Structure formats: C-alpha cells, structure tokens
Amino acid sequence: MPKLQGFEFWSRTLGGARHVVAPMVDQSELAWRLLSRRHGAQLCYTPMLHAQVFVRDANYRKENLYCEFCANDPEVFVQAALLAQDYCDAIDLNLGCPQMIAKRGHYGAFLQEEWDLLQRMILLAHERLSVPVTCKIRVFPEIDKTVRYAQMLEKAGCQLLTVHGRTKEQKGPLPGPASWEHIRAVRKAVSIPVFANGNIQCLRDVERCLQDTGAQGVMSAALKSPSPAEGNLHNPALFEGRSPAVWELAEEYLVLVRQHPCPLSYVRAHLFKLWHHTLQVHQQLREELAKAKTLEDVATVSRALRLQCQEDMSRQKEGEKPSGGLPFFHWICQPYVRPGPREGSKHSSAGSKRALEEEEEEGGRLEVLSKNKQKKKLRNPHKTFDPSLKPKYAKCDQCGNPKGNRCVFNLCRGCCKKRAFKESADCPGHGLLFKTKLEKSLAWKGDQPRLQEPPPPGPGGPGGFPEVVGSAVA
C-alpha cells in the first residue's frame, strides 16, 4: 500500500482528528493517553523521545500511536524512526521545544535557523520511512519568515505541521499570548494539514481557534509548556466541553494506571495538576500526596480528597463565595492560569523566593530566574547566572553529548564503555578497566597448577583399578 500524504493521511489514517493532546514530558504515558481518548481527544502524541537514546537502548523503546523524536542528525533520526515505524501511524520531528535541555542538546526550537539541516532530515525520513513524517514548530517574530519556514518543511516532505503560535523566547512565567495570526498565515500558505497550538483553556477556545486560524485541528496542553494555561492536564475532559468533579477523573485515571503501570512520579505529577485548586484549600492532602510511596497510598489520598470535596459541596450555599481568596467550586476540573512574576511577587517580602522572580539585568537583557536558580540565589546571594560565564562543555566525538574531561577516547561515558569493551582497552577517566581485568584474568589462569595426569590403565581393565591379588575370604 502506498504511503499516504498530506490531507489524505490526515483524513484516512488520523480519522480527520481535530482534538489533539500534545506531547508532555513524563506525562504522556499510556494511561493518560487512554484517559484523554475516553474524554474527547482524537489523537495523542507520545512524549518527545531522544532519537540517539532510542537507537542504542532497547528499554527506551515503547509501543506508541504517534511517535515524536528530537534529533539533530539525519541518519540518527531515520534509524530511530525505522525502529518505531511499525508501531505508530506517523513520526513527528519536534522543532518546537524551547527548554534549556533542548538548547544544551541542540535540538527542538534551537534548530529553527538551520534550514539546510532540517531539509536533509525531513527529506531523508520522507524517502526511507513507510509512514509519514510530520513536524511541530514555533513561529518567528516575523510572519513572512514563519511562512517561508513552513513552506520549506512542506517542500522537504513534511505531511502535517503543528504550529505553536509563540517564539522560542516566549517561555517560562512570561509567555504572552500565542499569535493565531501567524498560524492563519501558515495555514493559507501551505497545502498540508495544520494543527494550531496555543491559548487553549476550554472547548470554546478550541472552536474559536479553528474558526480564526482555519486549522484542521487544535493541540492542547504540554507539561512545562510556556502556555500560561495547561488545559488537558487540569481537565482531561476539555475536548468534551465538560468540567467534571476532580475525583471522578482521578479515580478513573488510577484504574487505568493499575492496568497500564507507569512510574509513581508520573501519577503524582498528574494528580497535583488535576487537584491543583482543591489542594490550595486542603493543603494537608498536598503533603500526604507528596509523601505517598505506593499506588495504594495515592488511592487513599484520593478517597480522602473525595470526602473533603463532598463535604465542601454540601456546605456551599448558592451564590456564597469562600473567604480568604480560596477557589470557588474548587472541586470542579478547571484551568489554572499562572501569574507572571510581577503579579506573583506583588505581595512577597524582599527575601522570599517570589521576590527573586523579579527581573535581573544580565548581559543587557531581562531574565526571570527559574525555581532552582531562586533556591541557589537564596543560598548564595552573590552567585551569578550569566550564561556567558558558564564553562563550555566539549562534545563527544560520536553522539554529541558532553564528553568526559579525562576520557582517553574523547567520548561520553556511554560511547566510551562500548569502545573500551570492544577494544579491550582501559579508560581511567571513566573508571573503565577492561584491559586490566583481562590481563589479570589471564595471569591468574597462568599461575594455576596443572592437574596431575591420571595413571595408565592397569591390568584390572579400562577403569585402571589395580588387580586383586588375594582375597580376605578363606
């Protein structure tokens, strides 16, 4: 069967999907994808997978519906995609991740200026894969450059384009609104399906986005995304247009986790998002959830939360608002809009973490400190976070990861271990002593005394037993 392309791929393979759940770091496991599919999502992405690790580590590979990779090497990208193509409907190349890990690894949105490299990656994948290749991108500040970028990817072989209407600089607590104008311009300029991403908090936003942009579908909610609101994570029933009770979806999710296990850290992270507003009211349950060590512990917290919410519902009178600024109807799934640093730090004291979110002038530009940097700043007020003063890491000659400073092969530990084992060599820098261990093993074998050879067979027969000369029996 020939490989489907463009709108034919979208309509036949993807069933004309309009409601899409984005790839989420450590939050797109099978249980959450199934929950989202039950409640209106028509297409769910896997988490972003590192192509290099996917190729070399069999444990990293999992069965997925729509597999997304980050990569910066055409051959590595295609090798990873070839391993996954039999288990998914399409291979997506992530060109939209703006996080620092993407900058260090040189992938995601930090490749958007390298058009020659991207052309080679998409073209090679389009030629060699049996499933379509798609891309997820961010926009440039200029609409015309964004349009040319999208057209370049389409020409290289991209069959579907997801456009996040923010630049790679729009991240953290100051993302700003996504530009649907950019998305609309891209949709008009290309002849492949387009998914819009950004500014989605409820089903009404989905319908408005589809109308304003002309896109074929809308993607919602990436964990740690620069979006000020994370729709799917706070309400998996977003695409149904419902806002159910928080315990209803939490209990349904825990049932799915028992059927399709995943790390407990994923479960806790989902419930912290899902219960966000309720945990502002019942903070003792927040602590109990954080301390939970097993899935049954989490289920116990879930039951306690349900009882607390039902009591709050029974006490809530119509039109009566809670005092102290507590969320109104906190037991209902609803989006959470993160405040910017100014709004969040307005009532904070000078020495608090919130105060450290205020702007700092570094290298002639305003920068907002992350939570980890805030903690480091409190411990060491004189510490600088100027990236120009950070040490530059040399790259591994094979995979591009940071190499060991004392590695004799100029490789990272993973690549060094493979080479040292293959060549029976030592690398003191990584503590790998294959050559030394082999030499010790051979020396030990050489020092062992040889076993004494058995005497030749005697006249008693082939067993060599001595002949009986006399008998003790008279």
Angle in degrees, 0-180, between the axes of helices 143-156 and 115-128, rounded to the nearest 10: 30
- Residue 215's pLDDT band, with cuts at 50, 70 and 90, is very high
The stretch 227-235 carries a mean pLDDT of 65
The stretch 312-321 carries a mean pLDDT of 67
Residue 81 has a pLDDT of 92
Residue 267 has a pLDDT of 93
Residue 464 has a pLDDT of 45
- Residue 223's pLDDT band, with cuts at 50, 70 and 90, is very low
Catalytic residue among 67, 70, 97, 407: 97
Assess whether pLDDT exceeds 50 at residue 113. yes
Of residues 70 and 452, more confidence is placed in 70
The stretch 362-381 carries a mean pLDDT of 66
Q: Report the mean per-residue pLDDT for the chain.
A: 80
CB 27 within 8 A of CB 6: no
Q: How far is it, in rounded angstroms, from Cα 182 to Cα 143?
A: 6
CA diameter of the chain: 119
Q: Phi and psi at residue 363, in whole multiples of 5°?
A: 65, 30
- Residue 61's pLDDT band, with cuts at 50, 70 and 90, is low
Q: How far is it, in rounded angstroms, from Cα 273 to Cα 271?
A: 5
Question: How many CA atoms lie less than 13 Å away from 315 in the CB half-sphere?
Answer: 10
Q: Would you tell me how many other CB atoms lie within 10 Å of the CB of residue 315?
A: 9
- Residue 213's pLDDT band, with cuts at 50, 70 and 90, is very high
Tell me if residue 97 is catalytic: yes
> Which range in 87-91, 186-190, 224-228, 403-407 is most confidently predicted, on average pLDDT?
186-190
Assess whether pLDDT exceeds 70 at residue 65. no
Question: Of 98, 97, 57, nearest to 80 (Cα)?
Answer: 57
pTM, 2 dp = 0.65
CB 330 within 8 A of CB 277: yes
Structure tokens, 350: 């000078």
- Residue 396's pLDDT band, with cuts at 50, 70 and 90, is confident
pLDDT above 90 covers a percentage of the chain that reads 38
Residue 338 has a pLDDT of 61
The stretch 299-321 carries a mean pLDDT of 80
Assess whether pLDDT exceeds 80 at residue 457. no
Assess whether pLDDT exceeds 60 at residue 454. no
